[in-house]
Every structure is written in structure tokens, then in C-alpha cells.
Amino acid sequence: MSRYKNAKKRKSVSVYKKLIRILQVMVVVLVLLCALQTRRISKLEQELQEAYLQLDWMEYKQAKWQETAETDFRQEESDSAVGEKEEAGVPGSGQEEPEKEEYSPEEKEESPEEEAHDPEQDGTLRKVYLTFDDGPSRNTNEILDILEQYGVKATFFLIGKEGEEAESAMRRIVEEGHTIGMHSYSHDYEQIYASEDAFAEDFMKMREYIYDVTGVNCVYFRFPGGSSNQVSKTDIYQLIDWVHDQGVEYYDWNISSKDSSPTEYSAEQIAENCLADLERYNKAVVLLHDTNSKGTTVEALPAIIEEIQAMENTVILPITEYTVPIQHRTKEMED
Ligand code: ZN
């Protein structure tokens, strides 16, 4: 009887063991599935975030174009009103502008073709924007030489460096077709972010300085520390509104070379930091620095460019007004 009981007990123990093993396997499978799903969700969230930013930007651009079109339309209407008055013998401004009406049809046909060739408008291409902060420096000319050698245009977010050497570097940046952006005059975070007035004063000083030296009315800006900086004592959204009111757009980054990190990375590591995640993005704004102490960045640059140029369907472009910006903080994130 007891043997029968023991056998029964053993049998039920082995059934329990099996059940536990099945449960264990199920738990492991569930955990793995959860991890996979979490990864998928975070990837989708990132894509959604990018899509939202793109949508905001397109809406903003559309509104701007509409505004311009309306202004042009009003201008044309008032021009034709003047024309009609003149035809009726009413003295107008005295300035005849018949040529304005005579659009060349060839000119009109060419523009959509041009757009089709514009890599910025080509959605099938991966676009990479190399951006250099904190220049000009003693390294600027070497950076420009390398860019020229590879036929690449980049963007320089400059700070208020004075003197003939800095000014001639600024002019060379413009002459060689790169984009100039503002990155504050003093680059002194405490001072710039102390108040909206302090920010505005520094911003205007840099804008005027760039205009005086290069003749460029700069419309691109990078917040010192990015729009996600933790230093600003002033509400960053207030500053963003102010920047937009100046007709200026701000550009953060989604890839950092980490060349300004306290860890001193080698040239190889800087290149690796730029390239490791690049394929994940359709649009990559790469943060690099142009300062006297960043010789390793200059050293890393040829490898960075060569690797990007070897990637399929990928172009390196300067930031222009058609570039959809990468922004760490946008108005929609305010709350
Ligand atoms: Zn900086």
C-alpha cells in the first residue's frame, strides 16, 4: 500500500516538475518576447517622433511659403493696378516695368526639373549633415582643405572669434559654399542663458558680426549646449519663439562625435562615434567641433567622409533653408 502511495507520489512529483519546467520555458519565452516588443516599440516611438518633427517643419514651411505667395500676389495685384492706371493715362510712379510680366516659358519649365535633381528634395536618399561648432579656429583651414578635397559642403556654427585670421576663415567658409550658422557670440553659457535679454543681445551681436565680416544675413542657429541644454535659466521655449521671430531656425543633432567629451577620444574612436549609428537614420546631423584643441577631429575627418561617401544612397549636404531640422526641444514638447 505504502509502495503504491510512494509510486503515486513520485508520479505526481514528476508531473509537477514537468509543469514547472514548462512554466520556466514559458516565462523565458515571454521575457524574450517582451524584450523584443520593447525594442520594437522604442524604435517605432523614435520613428514617430521624427515623423512628427518632419510634419511640424513641413507645416511651418507651408505657412511661410503661403505667406510669401500671398505677399507676391498682393505685389502683383498692386503692380497691375499701377499698370492699368498708366494705360488709362493716370500718371503712375513713372517707372515702367513691362519686363516683369514677360516670363520666359523656358525658365518656368526648368524649375521643376531642377527640383527633381535637388538631393535635398529626394526622399530616397540618406542625408548626412556634417556640422562644426565653436569655430573658427586654427584648424578651420585644414578642415576646409579636407572638405574641398572630397567635394563636400558642411555647416559651421560659429562663435565670436575676432582678428584677421578668424575673419578670413569665416570668409573662406562662405566663399567655398559652406553654410554659416550662429552659435552665440560669447559661448558663455551662464551669460547667454541668464535672461531673454542677455540671450537676445548676444544673438544680435553674432548675427551682426557675421554680416559685417561675410555679408551673410545668417538664418541658422545652434543653441550652445543644444536646445536640450540643462543650463538655461530662461525658458528654452521662450527663446525658441524669439529665435523664430527673428526669421531664424535652430538645428540640433542626432549623432555626436563626442569630440568635446571630457574623455579624450582618439581619431579612430571619433570616426567610430560618428559612423556606428549612422545607418539607422535617414537624416543624420553630425556634431563635430572646430577648435584649436580638436586636432583629433581633423584627423578623423577623412575617414568619416570616406565611409559616408561609400554608403549607398547617401549624400553629404550643407544645411539650407530646405533642410528639415533635427530639434531636441520643440514647441509641442512644451508641457
Ligand atoms: Zn559650442
For 175-225, the three-class secondary structure string (H helix, E strand, C coil) is: HCCCEEEECCCCCCHHHHCCCHHHHHHHHHHHHHHHHHHHCCCCCEECCCC
From the CA of 100, how far away is ligand 1's center (Å)?
45
Q: How far is the CA of 98 from the centre of ligand 1 (A)?
A: 50
The grid cell for 136 is 573658427
Report how far apart, in Å, the C-alpha atoms of 142 and of each of 31, 54, 135, 291 are: 52, 34, 12, 12
Report residue 11 as a C-alpha cell: 508520479
d(CA 321, CA 251): 11
pLDDT in tens, the chain (335 residues): 566 677 777 788 888 889 999 999 999 999 999 888 888 887 777 666 666 666 656 665 666 666 656 665 565 555 555 544 444 444 444 333 334 344 444 444 444 444 557 899 888 999 999 999 999 999 999 999 999 999 999 999 999 999 999 999 999 999 999 999 999 999 999 999 999 999 999 999 999 999 999 999 999 999 999 999 998 989 999 999 999 999 999 999 999 999 999 999 999 999 999 999 999 999 999 999 999 999 999 999 999 999 999 999 999 999 999 999 999 998 777 76
Give the distance (Å) from ligand 1 centre to CA of residue 134: 5
**β partners of residue 95:** none
Cell numbers at 224, concatenated: 550652445
Give start and end residues of each alpha helix (H) in the chain.
Answer: 2-87, 105-117, 140-149, 164-175, 189-192, 196-214, 236-245, 267-275, 295-310
Indicate the pTM of the whole model: 0.69
Residue 245 CA to ligand 1 center (angstroms) comes to: 23
- Provide the grid cell at 57: 517643419
Q: How many Å lie between the centroid of ligand 1 and the Cα of residue 217?
A: 20
